Amino acid sequence: MSVALGLKRPLVVRTVPVSDPGDLIARLPGVAPHAWVRHGDGLVGWGEAASVRVPAGLSGPARFAWARAWLASIFRTAEIDDPVGLPGSGPVAFGSFTFDPASAAGSTLVVPRTVLARRDGRSWLTTIGEDALDLMTPVRTPGRIRYSDGALTAMEWEHAVATAVKEIGGGRLDKVVLARDLIATADRGIDPRALLARLARRYPECYTFSVGGLVGATPELLVRHTGRAIESLVLAGTAPTGSDPGDLFGSEKNQYEHVCAVASVRDALDPLCATLDVPDRPELLVLPNVQHLATRVTGRLSDGASVLDVVAALHPTAAVGGTPTATALEVIRELEDMDRGGYAGPVGWIDARGDGEWGIALRCAAVEGDRARLFAGCGIMGESDPVQELAEAQAKFRVMRYALEG
């Protein structure tokens, strides 16, 4: 099996405790960095011990099952020395899945050759194979940034929103999340480490991530899996930070949008869980640019499902797709006029025990060379105003514009 996957021999994995490394992101070398960091804790990785692109076109949960089988074949034959024994120790794969299974961009899994991690006051280093020198290079700033329209101009996107509102009013669906993209071109090649450092500093409540060129800071935890315990943070319903929270809680549109998102998560998790706790009322999550209605769902799995099984059950949630799901996906394909790639898809990590953390890739950009493709999306309901939705999308773009411009 390992030969078929391109591995000449089983992975030799060694994890050792280390003293506190300080800023994890600052320890990354400049080539293809991987990261998942919140409040300074998390994992960063570099190098490549194994990687794969998940075949495009696998429907529904099939691509997650394919990914789990590939990882099982890698981890099952690995020689693992892991005295730490915590979630994220031993071999780890970072992954990014496209929003749409048919996306041409492709979903990616990477097992880094080196992973440095910190959790609950403990730190460790995992290496695979022979030691190699990873040269630290100065972080590069991208210089001047120029912006241009992506697939749709602002006016064209407003028209798409208006069309979606008509579809909802006509009874075709209840909600759809429409996204738009913005192209940023820099004077020099864009160093993901510069973006990661700025995002982690400005948005510590978010999960700052870098996987396969997709870089961002998402507020939305799709699932945290530790043993049999799981947790999911549902965000839907948005207003500018600084506005009266009472307006957000009192908004029928935002409340209904949030109820739909919570229901989709509850319905997906219920068959997998022995117990499931869904609060009756949302809380307020305040970020520097926007604030959201938030519900933290917790539960305990009824069997030995891995984090990827839970991701497969959850994706896509109503918070990033719509309701009903199949119809919302049709409308997204009709109106957005673009391939989302990894935007609004699952992003995160999984270890050999099946534990891991996965978020929804929001507030992010696909970075390649001197170019970055920024994304932002809004939940469209029957009462949505295209002008207000455009303003909300512009506010969400500010996260990655700050990361690029500093």
Write down the mean pLDDT value for the chain: 92
Q: Which of 125, 172, 135, 124 is nearest to 326 (CA)?
A: 172
pLDDT digits (tens, 9 = 90+) for 4-22: 354 668 999 999 999 999 9
State the Cα–Cα distance between residues 355 and 203, nearest whole angstrom. 25
Instruction: Indicate if 166 belongs to the active site.
Output: no
Beta strands in 241-289 (DSSP E): 273-277, 283-286
**264 vs 82 pLDDT, higher one:** 82
| Residue 130 pLDDT > 80 | no
Residue % of the chain over a pLDDT of 90: 80
The confidence score (pLDDT) of residue 1 equals: 29
Confidence of residue 330 (pLDDT cuts 50, 70, 90): very high
Confidence of residue 260 (pLDDT cuts 50, 70, 90): confident
Helix (H) or strand (E) holding 300: strand 290-301
Instruction: Indicate if 175 belongs to the active site.
Output: yes
Helix (H, G, I), strand (E, B) or coil at 386: helix
- CB neighbour list of residue 315: distance below 8 Å, 6 or more residues apart: 64, 97, 222, 345, 346
Which residue among 158, 220, 336, 392 is the active-site one? 220
Q: With contact defined as beta carbons under 8 Å apart, do 66 and 57 qualify?
A: no
pLDDT digits (tens, 9 = 90+) for 192-238: 999 999 999 999 999 999 999 999 999 989 999 999 999 999 988 88
Burial class (CB in 10 A: 0-12, 13-18, 19+), 19: exposed
Q: With contact defined as beta carbons under 8 Å apart, do 223 and 355 qualify?
A: no
| pLDDT, average across residues 65-82 | 95
**65 vs 132 pLDDT, higher one:** 65
State which amino acid sits at residue 347: V
Which residue among 48, 79, 167, 175 is the active-site one? 175
State the Cα–Cα distance between residues 80 and 111, nearest whole angstrom. 14
| Residue 118 pLDDT > 60 | yes
State which amino acid sits at residue 230: I
* Ordered domains of the chain (ranges, CATH): 12-405 (3.60.120.10)
State the Cα–Cα distance between residues 22 and 41, nearest whole angstrom. 10
Q: Which of 103, 139, 133 is nearest to 26 (CA)?
A: 139
The confidence score (pLDDT) of residue 177 equals: 96
Q: With contact defined as beta carbons under 8 Å apart, do 180 and 330 qualify?
A: no
How many C-beta atoms lie closer than 10 Å to residue 231's C-beta?
16
N- to C-terminal Cα separation, the chain:
46
